[in-house]
Amino acid sequence: MEEILEILQEMHPDVDFEKEQHLIDDRIIDSLDIVTLISEIDDRLDVTIPAEEIIPENFNSVKALSELVRRLDEE
Amino acid sequence: MKQKNVLEYLEATVVRLPDKVAYADDEISLTFSDVYHHSRAIGSALLDKGICGEPVVVFMPKSPKTIATFFGCVYGGCCYVPIDPEMPRFRIELIFKNLEPKAVICDRSVMGELETYEFSGELMFYDELIKTEINDAALAEVREHQIDTDPIYIVFTSGSTGVPKGVVACHRSVIDYIEQLSEVLGFSEETVFANQSPLYFDACLKELYPTIKFGATAYLTPKQLFMFPVKLVEYLNEHKVNTVCWVVSALTMISAFNTFDKIKPEYLRTIAFGSEVFPIKQFKRWRAALPEATFTNLYGPTETTGMCCFFRVDRDFELGDVIPIGKPFHNREILLLTDENKRAAQGEVGEICVRGTALTLGYYHNFEKTNEVFVQNPLNDRYPELIYRTGDLGKLNERGELIFVSRKDHQIKHMGHRIELGEIEVNVNMLAGVSMCCCLFNKDKDRIELFYTGEIGESELMTVLKDKLPRYMLPNKLNKLESLPLTPNGKIDRVFLQKQLEAKK
């Protein structure tokens, strides 16, 4: 969870990611951010996110993203 | 009698297919009858207010309603100027300043946004306009006086300096383009489009007008879906989309995430793409996933009404190849002119210039910039004839197919040599470990810098490049990025990167 927060904060230092629950719906992050996020998570956390997991529900909050990463890591 | 107005497409189709869906998004669906009646009401309303022969700003988000409004402006003898509230603020301000529009049509939902901009024209609301009583006589009168060189739209395009220029297009060049494009891509009444392009770019001509010409259907794909490849493909399947004309980056987003392992667009048969070079690795994935589909590369600047060249992919391409832009549509000529204003020889690089009806009328309120690029054909010293200088460089390959080389203004002088930054990019893009790249020149520091995405590391890339490029073409600095910034049009945002480059100490 910490690393995900760090990655997001680097991309948007002005956003309070602990609070935001609608990153996609509120257009806080955009398509370019998604590409960067997926890339960073691959590089830093060694977790590859497959196409079918690239859905709004998994990207709407730090918590959702961390859950996704944790789940994929365990598989 | 020869067609002189784009609305004749709609008028013929509404008789045959009044209740078929023309345009739809997630919120609203308009049939040809709806589009016909709403646009005539809007046209009548404009005429009621005495607004005719003027540019009318359509300040609305992407929606079937917006398209009906475009046609409404044309019914009223005006030309539509699409502005989407999502466009950058400074750009909208510059457009209002350039146009000084007499009328702005908007949606109640974006009123708040609109109020933050300064303009003095009449403000009109879509929901009220469509209730206007249709004035058949007034509309017929407008049509009677309209001629095919009257403007239909003004679309703003970025200058390389960042100041937007309003390209004015008329019925004649749009009709000619739609006829040619439809034939090449084989559109018909059965065509189901998924639109990706914003309505404020002329790229959307490919879906807007063939839909009314053939009685086809165009779905306006929600922008959000372009972030989620599986959902995007599900959308295409849900609506049985058989035709897409998208920017390359929208297509590569799907293939890059291995989406085809999970789901494929089942009904897609016609794929047209343009605006950016298609990375061969991604292109192969598309071809492998959809062996039955046709793939067509399209090229053309806004100033020559939509696209002017096409290439139907008819063979395999390998890493290191470049997909050609092919040859011009019928009724257009491409001239490749050297610096001496002579035709380029076979294999010689020249500036791509366009001749013919395709040329738009020019830039709005900007004769100076217009005259810089819409010029007398240097090969013709006998009578006035315009060509448009695209500022793109190209050459013919051994098969006589046109290949895009680079932008002309990406020529630099470095270490005593004239270098095309595009040429460095082409060479870098050939490497397996590179996804996309952008080569820029910092004139003050006399440094070439390369920005790229891909798996290969900076130092390994440098080693490889030392083998591939002459010394004077080697970038002085390599910058590996997670992703390259893109413009709203889906192209690499060179202006943004250049600013970043110049800001560095």
Tens-digit pLDDT profile for residues B266-309: 999 999 998 777 888 889 999 999 999 999 999 999 999 999 99
What's residue B291's pLDDT? Answer: 96
pLDDT at B158: 67
Interface with chain A: mutation pick from B483, B491, B492, B496, highest number of A CBs within 10 Å: B483
Close Cβ partners of B84 (under 8 Å, ≥ 6 residues apart): B60, B61, B62, B198, B199, B200
Cross-chain Cβ contact B258/A40 below 8 Å:
no
N- to C-terminal Cα distance for chain A?
Answer: 18
Q: Tell me what pLDDT residue A2 has.
A: 85
SS3 B26: coil
The ipTM is: 0.72
Is residue B401 a contact partner of residue B311, using CB atoms and an 8 Å limit?
Answer: yes
Contacts of B426 (CB under 8 A, 6+ apart): B322, B405, B406
Residues of chain B with pLDDT under 50: none
Cα–Cα distance measured from residue B164 to residue B155, given in angstroms and rounded to the nearest whole number: 9
**Quick count: other Cβ atoms within 10 Å of Cβ B409?**
11
Contact B21, B30 (CB under 8 A): yes
DSSP string, B97-160: HHH--SEEEE-GGGHHHHHTS---SEEEEHHHHTTSPP-HHHHHHHHHH--TTSEEEEEEEE-T
Quickly count: other Cβ atoms within 10 Å of residue B490's Cβ: 23
Tell me the pTM.
0.82
pLDDT band with cut points at 50, 70 and 90 for residue A1? confident
pLDDT score for B270: 98
Contacts B230 to A, Cβ<8 Å: 51-52, 54-55
Domains assigned to chain A: 2-74 (1.10.1200.10)
As beta bridge partners, residue B57 has B81, B104
Distance CA B245, CA B224 (A): 18
Contact criterion met (CB < 8 Å) for A35 and B229: no
Once rounded to an integer, what is the mean pLDDT over residues A1-9?
86
Chain A, nearest residue to B229 by Cα: A51
How close is the nearest chain B Cα to the Cα of A27, in Å? 9
Q: Which of B229, B259, B482 sits opposite A40 (nearest CB)?
A: B482
Nearest to B483 among A24, A36, A55 (CB): A36
What was the pLDDT predicted at B477? 82
CA atoms within 13 A of residue B383's CA, in its CB half-sphere: 0
Burial of B288 (0-12, 13-18, 19+ CB in 10 A): exposed
DSSP-derived secondary structure for B211-260: HHHHT-EEEE--GGGGG-HHHHHHHHHHTT--EEEEEHHHHHHHHHTTGG
| Domains of chain B, CATH where assigned | 1-165 (3.40.50.12780), 327-406 (2.30.38.10), 415-503 (3.30.300.30)
Cβ atoms B86, B199 nearer than 8 A: no
pLDDT of residue B81: 97
- Give chain B's end-to-end CA distance (angstroms, integer): 65
Token pair listed for B14:
């509404």
| Residue range B374-385, pLDDT digits in tens | 999 999 999 999
The answer to whether residues B157 and B167 touch, using CB atoms and an 8 Å cutoff, is yes
Enumerate residues 6+ apart whose C-beta is below 8 A from A6. none
Residue from the list B228, B258, B483 with its beta carbon closest to the beta carbon of A32: B483
